[in-house]
Amino acid sequence: MTSGLKVNFWKSCIMGINVSEEFLVMASDFLNCRVGRTPFKYLGLPVGANPRK
């Protein structure tokens, strides 16, 4: 059974940890999505930022 759902790559971003910037750019070009950066906000809360600030 399949649901027919698809990923909307125009609204998606790719992030990497311990991955070269060159690889992220190559992967984002292949997937047609953006390269995400940290820190970012999720539901209004900072993710990946210094928790003491």
Beta carbons of 39 and 46 less than 8 angstroms apart: yes
Residue 41 is predicted with a pLDDT of 84
- pLDDT value at 2 more than 90: no
Beta carbons of 36 and 16 less than 8 angstroms apart: no
Grade residue 1 by pLDDT with cuts at 50, 70 and 90.
low
Grade residue 53 by pLDDT with cuts at 50, 70 and 90.
low
- pLDDT value at 16 more than 80: yes
- pLDDT value at 14 more than 80: yes
pTM of the entire predicted model: 0.65
